[in-house]
Amino acid sequence: MIYSGKHLNSSSLLMHMCTVKMLNGNIFAALFLCDGKSSELVGWFTNPGFPSPSSEGLSCIFTLNKASNDIKQLRLDFVTFELLGPTGGTCKQDQFVVSGQNTNNVIPILCGINTGQHAYVEVGDSDGPIYFSVQTYSSENRLFSIKISQLTWADELAAPTGCLQYYTESQGFLESFNYRDRSEIGIARIPSYLNNLNYAMCIRRAQETCSVTYSNSDYMQIVNYDLGNHKQLYNLK
């Protein structure tokens, strides 16, 4: 279930929230830039100069206002997402942070490579605004383009309450954040698991199906802490 999208060139855009138009005049997408504000239903939050990487330290905050009181969720599609990875499982050098959502809806702080991932943010009980922040502290390359969609419960993409991720196809891949090591900007990354994760990955039941089969695509290890004081390791090959 790896989502992808076309890169949007924002290198010549100076406004904080810009609209890209096709040659026929139809609106294609809104670009959400650093220090910008918007209430657009759909737009892309990008690093300065995208699709070129940013190499300077960033303190980039975008503010999103709900388009209406009917908006219950935001879906974030990480079309491109490359920040420096975690240190010992904690995002110390680079951080992507979401705030302003429902009080009980915890969105993990993200870093590393998360291209193709997605996340849902619950905002039905929040008056907003919702803030999206990318903070970096060194001069290494970073690249990100995050599609942000505002959803009502009636939208086909809306996820069940409590799902950070929601997969709707009959088959696909489940990956933890910062799983990948392939970089679009040519800098080596080390995939590793992030600390303090506690979230649900939900799968929509396909018609006329009664079960789900899981199989690992690579070597993996599961640590089970549900056996009293006995920690048990499961190695899958």
Handedness of CA 121, 125, 126, 127 (dihedral sign): positive
Question: What single-letter amino acid sits at 193?
Answer: Y
For the chain, the C-alpha Rg in angstroms (whole number) is 19
The residues that bridge with 96 in the sheet, in sequence order, are: 110, 134
Give the residue numbers spanning the domain of 50: 1-237
Rounded Cα gap, residues 43 and 19, in angstroms: 9
**Tell me, what CATH number does 166's domain have?**
2.60.120.290
Residue 148 phi/psi, 5-degree rounding, is -115, 120
Whole-model pTM: value is 0.81
Query: For residue range 175-232, what is the model confidence (pLDDT) as tens digits?
Result: 999 998 888 887 667 788 999 999 999 999 888 888 888 888 776 665 544 444 444 4
Residue 13 has a pLDDT of: 35
Indicate the number of domains in the chain: 1
| Positions of the chain with pLDDT under 70 | 1-29, 187-188, 219-237
